[in-house]
Structures are given as structure tokens and as C-alpha cells.
Amino acid sequence: MTDTTTTSTPIPAAPPPGSPAAKPGSRPGSAPAAAPTSFIGALEIDVRFLGMLGALAVIWVVFDILAGGTFLTARNLWNLSVQSSSIAVMSTGMVLVIVMRHIDLSVGSILGVTGMIMAVFQVSTLMPTFGFNHPAVIILTLAAGISAGAAIGALHGFVIAYLGVPAFIVTLGGLLVWRGAAWAVAEGKTIPLVDDNFKLLGGGANGSVGEMWSWVIAVIACLAIAAAAVQARRQRQRFHFPQKPVWAEFVIVIAGCLAVIAATLVVNAYTLPPVLARRYAEAAGLTVPPEGIAISFGFAIPVLVALAVGIVMTFVTNRTRFGRYVFAIGGNPEAADLAGINTRRVTLAVFALMGALAAIGAAISTARLNSATNAQGTLDELYVIAAAVIGGTSLAGGSGTIAGAMLGALVMQSLQSGMVLMRVDTPYQNIVVGIVLVFAVWIDTVYRKRIK
Amino acid sequence: MNAVTSPLAPGASRIEGTPMVEMRDICISFGGIRAVDDVSVDLYPGEVVGLLGHNGAGKSTLIKILAGAYKPDAGEIRIKGEKADIANPRDAKRYGIETIYQTLALADNVDAAANLFLGRELMTAWGTLDDVAMEAATREVMGRLNPNFRKFKEPVRGLSGGQRQSVAIARAIHFNAKILIMDEPTAALGPQETAQVAELIKQLKAEGIAIFLISHDIHDVFDLADRVSVMKNGKLVGTARTSDVTKDEVLGMIILGKSPPGALAGPGAAAD
């Protein structure tokens, strides 16, 4: 750990004029920063993210009123979380693509073709080889789909980075090519999934972890939030940097834990219908009391997959070289080049990652429908881009967050789900979503201008 | 500290020893235009060589070849007498060549530490970015260059011209540069900051660092440089020790391409 600082030995020995002879051992730059001026400033939270949470809250409350109290129910919120997962997974990759000043129009088609590949591979090869519900089936299905997605993405990335064709064109071509390929894989047939383990990725009563495991996950999440705060503090202590006030740390950790607990309460409040619960309990060998039994859904597996992807992608963007380079290239491609970064390789890797994430999205959405169709994922590219952009990713490149994009996916899905509950016809839903997208980006533009 | 004595000590009549950098017969063309045409320059340890010429004379292109940003069509580069193979900026940095570009080449959307260590990040034992260590190093080097600098957490887009300049300079000197290329280092600076940069150049020179100082303005360079090399239309007009020529003569080299008697004429010198 400590040896990481040895490369930073000073070079120019004498201080330049104007700097009153810095005493050896003194840390000229590390004088305590000015006290934070505001409550939000002390908390060091992203104001834009806070604004999005506020917007989401407004959307939820308004829909709940308009839809006669059907929106803010445990059942609807649980469904909302499952419906958002696939787009949320893909939006994390789209953030990196857009940060690098590119675009990927092909994700919906990659989802279609990889979903098809997974279903066909599972039904025609893996099942006959390993047998019904063998654990190898889900593993190899996912491995095949994700590799295929990554390979398709890498191919796009290669043409973009090394042959110099604009990403818009390459992925527009990809949109057509892979949609056609999805049809070609099974000549347009719909392929029903056979592996029960794989179907768990789609959610549903079986594809949820239940009440007890939901609480286990909640406790782990709360501990992780607290541990992260302590770790960050220790790191800053190591170099005697100015620290956040202790109360601010507590506010953040407590708010985070409350959010986790609230989410857990909601998903646990969604219970199986009484008849199904009784059947399920009897199958599990439980004695059912005469007043009936409440069996909670708990967190759905696709939601947990999406959250795991979000955590991994946040780690990749913030804590790895690769993530740093993606942002540096997005900020100033020439500077990144001059700093010795292999910008082409990073571009290729970002598109490969996008392809792999589209395959994970495909696993979730095919499992949810219990089958793969060649139309699956149609228009998803637009929802994914919209989620990233609503989530604060700048199309000019260089800025965006994973958490924001995932929240953006939730906002998009909330709009659609709310309008379904209000019985708005699909064409009108599209009109509203389109308007909201433009409006959200306009608000963001105004915000960016103001902070400049 | 001053173990390396300048080969250009006052009164020395001739340059001795092996040059730190020799660029020999360098040529590069872009779409049929010879941006750099058969140029040879050299640079000794502890020496400041001013590279002068009008905008478009080929100065920046020449030094971008040394920095690894462009690959020359012909010619060779020798570092400390040995042939150097510089194919990209990373190679150049391995030879101890650091560059401060005219555009500063900063990624505006990330903070000072991220820019300072761009391409050579400090990593923790787990292979993740060691942001705190990088911030600590940045605070240290910036504390020396610009003691009032406080915006360590802000993207560099929010910095003033002078602050951005000091981030770019910090990046060049933090990694034990042996050869420093400064392309119009004072273009964005006010008079006080310009004087600071001049002091810094003297200091680095005293430490034995060899410096190429690129400028289109002779006044920026003449007092700081030991020698000047003048380029015009991609060709070398000539090289002269600043003690052997007057400012007017150098101006004549820049504008007319005329090599004065005190200078060593290059292939680009105008015929009388």
C-alpha cells in the first residue's frame, strides 16, 4: 500500500519564486479546505442525482393520484423493478459508450440475436447433453450468450476504432444485421426455454429470493454502505486530507440504509395470492394455518442481477484504469492520445462490454417471457439511450454516471407503467415518453449552463 | 544539486560532450505538404534551445515527432548518442521526454490529479486506482508550483488559464523529465505568471534538464535560451548561440529566412 507513493518523489528541488520557501515536510497543498458552505455541499452528493430522485418521486405520486392509488402498491413497484432490469443493465454500458462520444444503436438487435442464440443452444445442444435442469445448462447458456454479445460488440468496436467508420453508422448497420441474424438463427420461430434455472433470471414467484433472503441481502447492503464510508475516511486520513464532517457521514449512511430497508419492506409486502401461497406451502411441506399463509416475493432475481451489474460497472468506471481512460478520452481524445493511452483499444473494449451487457439483458428478458422471439428487444436501443441521457449522461461526451442511468431506466419504466395503469393507449404512451425525453434533456442543458 | 554542469558555461567557445537529443534530417509530410523538411536540431543537458518560427513554420510538428505523437517519414532521433525508437507518446516518456503542449492537452472533465497521472496512474495493491495517493502527490507538486491552488476535487474545466497551465507543467516535471518540451508555455498567461514560468525554466535548467522552448515570439525566448534554432516553411534556417547574434538578426532569420554570420546556416537559409 505505502509503496504506491514512492513514485511521487519531488522533482524540482527549489520552490519557484513567490512560494515562500516551503519547509521540508510541510504539505503546502493539503491545508484544510474551506469549511463546506451548505448542507448539500457538506454531504458531497451529486445534486443532479438528488434532482432525479425528486423527479421520480413526483412522477410516482402523480401517477398514483391519476391512476386511483394503483401505482404506489407493493405489487406495482415490484413489477416496475423487474420490468426496468433489462434496460437498466444495458444502460450502464451505454453510459460508457456515450461518455466516449459514441453511440450504440444496435443494442436492441444484439439483445434479439443473443437471446435467440441462448435459447437455441440451450434447447438443441445443452439440454440433450446434460439433461433436464442440470446446473451446467444455465452456466453454459449464459457463457455462450455473453461471449456472442461481447464478440458482436468487439466487431463493432473494431470497425469503429481501427477502420474509422463512425459509430452511428456501424451500429445502425448492426441494428439491421443482427435483427436479421436473430431471425436467421431459428428462421423466425419462437423458441421456448426449457431450463428452469435459467427461467429464474426472469423473476416471477419462483425467480425471487423470498422474505428471509431479502433481509439477509438488506443487512449485507447496509453493512457494505457503512464499510464503504469508513474505508473512504481511512483513506483520506492516511494523507491527512480534509474530511467530511462526521454528521454528514452519518446522514449518508443512514439515508442509504433507510432506502435499502424501505425497498426490502416493499418487496416483502408483495405476497403470493392466497391460493398460490397455499399450494406453494403445501408443496414445501409447511402446515397452513386456517386463516391462510402469507408468502412474500422478496427481491426478484433480475433486479438483483441488475443491481450487481450496476455495482460492478460503478466500480469499473470509478476505480479502474479502464474507467479513467474512458472518461479521459471522452473529455479530450487528443489529450488521452498524447498521454499515451491506447484509445483504439479502449474504444473496442467499451463496445465489447456493451455487447456483453446486451446479452445479459437478453438473458433477463427471454427468461421473463419464457421464450426467445426474433422481435425481442426491438426499439430497446432507444430506451437504453434515453435512460442514459435522462440519467444525466451528456451526449457531448465526458460525463455520466452508472447510478444515474439506472435511475433513468426506472424513470422511463415508471412513465410507461403509470400510463398502462391509467389505460393510456400505446401510441399516446410513445408521445408522452418522447416529449419527456426531450424535456428532460432540455432541463439538463439549462442546469449545465447554470453551473458553468 | 548542480552536479550536471552546463556544457554552455559562460565563455565556453564550443559545445562539448554528447547531446541529450539529436534530431537528424527529420522529414514528415501531410497530404503532400512537407511540414518538416530535412531538419536537424540538437539539445545538450542543462541547455535551453529556443525553437522559433512563424505560425505554421513546422515547430510544433517537429517537437510532436520527438514527443511521439507523429512518426517521421525519414530521419533519426538519438538520445544520449544512441538511436531512439519513438513510436508513440509512451516511448517518448520512457526516454524521459515530457511535453507541455500549446493546447495543454488536459482532459477537462476530470480533476487535476487524474490529469497529472493520466496514462501512468498510481495503483493500489488490488489493482485499483489509488486516488488518494495521486491526490497527495498532486497536492505536493502543485503546492510547489502554485501554492494557492485549492481546486483539487474539481474538473480542470473549472480552473483559470494559469491554474490549467500549472497542472500541465506539474504533469511534465513530476516524472523526472530529462528532456522537457515546452510549446508556447506562456501563451495563456499574464505577465506575473509568465515571469514565474521563466524562473521555473532557469531552475530546471540548473538541475541539468534539457529544454526545448517553442515560441513564435522572439522576446519570450531570447533571454532564456542558450541557442536558438529558426524554422521557416518547414525548413531549418539556421541555429545560433544567443550570445553570437542580435535579436534583430534572429528576427531576420524568422521573417526573411536569412542566416546571419554568427549562425550555422541550415538547408532552409535564403540564398543571398
| Residue B267: inside a domain | yes
Residue in B101, B130, B196 nearest the CB of A338: B101
Closest CA to A324 of B162, B118, B146: B118
What pLDDT is attached to residue B266?
Answer: 85
What pLDDT is attached to residue A245?
Answer: 87
Q: Looking at B153, B175, B197, which one is the last position of a domain? A: B175
| Residue B45: inside a domain | yes
Q: Does B125 touch chain A (CB under 8 A)?
A: yes
Contact between chains at A324 and B129 (C-beta distance less than 8 A): yes
Q: Phi and psi dihedrals of A403, rounded to 5?
A: -60, -40
Q: Please, which residues bridge with residue B97 across strands?
A: B179
Range of the domain at B66: 16-96+177-272
Q: Does B176 touch chain A (CB under 8 A)?
A: yes
Are residues B160 and B219 located together in one domain of the fold? no
**pLDDT tens-digit series, residues A428-440:** 988 998 998 898 8
| Residue B150: inside a domain | yes
Contact between chains at A12 and B107 (C-beta distance less than 8 A): no
Distances (CA, A) of A41 to A391, A432, B176: 21, 35, 37
Are residues B32 and B161 located together in one domain of the fold? no
Pairing of strands B48-52, B210-215: parallel
Per-residue pLDDT for B14 more than 80?
no
| Residue B9: inside a domain | no
CB pairs under 8 A between A and B: 162
Closest CA to A274 of A289, A256, A254: A289
Print burial letters for A344-354: b (CB count within 10 Å at least 16), e (below 16): eebbbbbbbbb
Confidence of residue B9 (pLDDT cuts 50, 70, 90): very low
Q: Looking at B175, B201, B217, which one is the last position of a domain? A: B175
Contact between chains at A331 and B110 (C-beta distance less than 8 A): yes
Are residues B268 and B191 located together in one domain of the fold? yes
Are residues B80 and B205 located together in one domain of the fold? yes
Type of residue numbered A30: S
Are residues B182 and B81 located together in one domain of the fold? yes
Nearest CA in chain A to B127: A320
Are residues B239 and B201 located together in one domain of the fold? yes
**pLDDT tens-digit series, residues B125-141:** 999 999 999 999 999 99
| Residue B11: inside a domain | no
> What residue ranges define each of the domains in chain A, with the CATH number in brackets?
45-208+300-451 (1.10.3470), 209-299 (no CATH)
Residue in B118, B145, B177 nearest the CB of A339: B118
ipTM given for this complex? 0.86
Per-residue pLDDT for B143 more than 90?
no
| Residue B101: inside a domain | no
CB atoms within 10 A of CB B59: 27
Are residues B162 and B187 located together in one domain of the fold? no
CATH number for the domain harbouring residue B190: 3.40.50.300
Whose grid coordinates read 520512457?
B94
Q: What is the CA radius of gyration of chain A?
A: 24
Confidence of residue B76 (pLDDT cuts 50, 70, 90): very high
Distance of alpha carbon A311 from its chain centroid, rounded?
8
Contact between chains at B107 and A14 (C-beta distance less than 8 A): no
Q: Which residue ranges of chain A lie beneath pLDDT 50?
A: 1-36
When divided into structural domains, chain B yields a total of: 2
Q: What is the mean pLDDT of residues B4-15?
A: 43
Distance of alpha carbon B153 from its chain centroid, rounded?
28
| Residue B2: inside a domain | no
Q: Does B96 touch chain A (CB under 8 A)?
A: no
Whose grid coordinates read 456515450?
A98
Smallest Cα distance from B181 to chain A, Å: 13
Are residues B194 and B149 located together in one domain of the fold? no
What is the rounded CA–CA span in Å between residue A322 and residue A340? 13
Are residues B130 and B31 located together in one domain of the fold? no
What pLDDT is attached to residue B15?
Answer: 55
Q: Looking at B175, B191, B215, which one is the last position of a domain? A: B175
Are residues B31 and B136 located together in one domain of the fold? no
- Are B93 and B69 in contact by the 8 Å Cβ rule? The answer is no
Per-residue pLDDT for B10 more than 70?
no
What is the rounded CA–CA span in Å between residue A389 and residue B206? 52
Closest CA to B231 of B218, B244, B246, B243: B218
What pLDDT is attached to residue A6?
Answer: 37
Are residues B194 and B131 located together in one domain of the fold? no
Chain A neighbors of B104, CB-CB under 8 A: 335
| Residue B169: inside a domain | yes
Contact between chains at A327 and B93 (C-beta distance less than 8 A): no
Chain A neighbors of B155, CB-CB under 8 A: 331
**pLDDT tens-digit series, residues B225-238:** 999 999 999 999 99
Are residues B122 and B159 located together in one domain of the fold? yes
